[in-house]
Structure 1
Amino acid sequence: MIATLLVDDQQLVRAGLRMLCESTTDIEIVGEAATGAEAVRRAEAARPDVVLMDLRMPGMDGTTATRRILQARPATRVVVLTTFDDDEHLYPALAAGACGFLAKDAAPGELLDAVRQAAAGGSPFSGDVLRRLVGEATRAWTSREPSCGPVKELTGREREVLALVGAGLTNAEIAARIHVGLTTVKTHVASLLRKTGCPTRVHLAVFAVRGGHTPD
């Protein structure tokens, strides 16, 4: 079971998330929190595998809560739930250690898949959120190099996937674009992260953009 903590200051949102997660056989809700400070306490007590984290809450915000949770439990996976007017909070949350970003209006299946991906060590991103993050990160890193190494020993398919990651496509969108399975795309992305030394998918996407890798 994937132990999951729900963090959102709106009770109705938490209730909806709980109902959705409890409809599965592999996701267990181990707690809820309405504030960042409460999220830190709940995470310490419940020891969740995954935290679904709102960013804007009264008192301690989701970014600070994410940082504190991961300082105490680095193995915890934090997936941020965001809205379209949260752009200024996205990059700070990434820097705090969030592993994924999901739009609050994501389809139920996409949210459940994000929890499973995060628990398995992946980095789930909604396509539109990833594109916004890449744009923000590219602007933030204009005057300095991203923390990735030089591209070397990439296959033709890896270069193709790199360009599509840079364009902000999700794994599912890349799979459909190049007519391969989702697992194959995940393998290529993992290989690209390893070969370039980029720590996250967003770093990899910025690396692709700044390196001039564009889709054909």
Structure 2
Amino acid sequence: MKKRTIIELTPFVDILLILLFAFLFNISETNEKAEVATNKSIELAQENLELKNDLEEKSNSLQDIANQNEKLEKQNTFYKNFYIELSNIIEKAFEDVEQPENIGEDEVERIKKLLENKGINLDYFIKNEALKGNFFVLDITIQGKEPEVFLNNQKIDFSITYEQYASENTRENKLNILEEKIESSLKNNGIPQLILITIKQMDENVFLYSYNLLLEAVKEIQNKYGADRIYFTEIPFLYNN
């Protein structure tokens, strides 16, 4: 009787084992899918976090640019008002002063135009205020959207776009190029003991990010050789309304 019972149960046990194996297989497959889904969720969360950080960084960068722009606008307003007052003083001085007999009308007009030239006057006042001894002067000018950069009227091979400025790697590379060009210009003059670097925007097409990069390069040069040896001053561009 026992033998018959065992024989009768054997097919049933086989079926149970098959079902158990199928169940375990399904559980294993489900766990694998769940693990894949979990890993994918982690990857997506990480990507979202990186995007969030990137957006915050760009937002902060734009805010810094806006603050710098506001600062430059205030400087521009100050210098415009300064020149209005200066022009009035010059005009009144020419009205009050009696013309010497040995100076003709043409010469007087030439002197008046020279004094009214904003670029010449601004360079003169700022440079003479900054110069306290014998300095080697490196005039750096920047113009256009590309932009074009000149070191003592010598154009250097340099350009930058906003995309390049926004990318940390290319921005660092462009900054290094500017530093090398400026340092090379100084080395050509034997790295003088005292140096004054002037930075001047030549037209209204210059983007603020390219101007800021140039300013940063000059500051890096100053940090390298010392603030007691290298001085710099910014000569703002006067926008026409």
TM-score (norm 1): 0.24
Higher relative CO (Cα under 8 Å, sequence separation at least 6) belongs to 2
Give the helix-richer structure, 1 or 2: 2
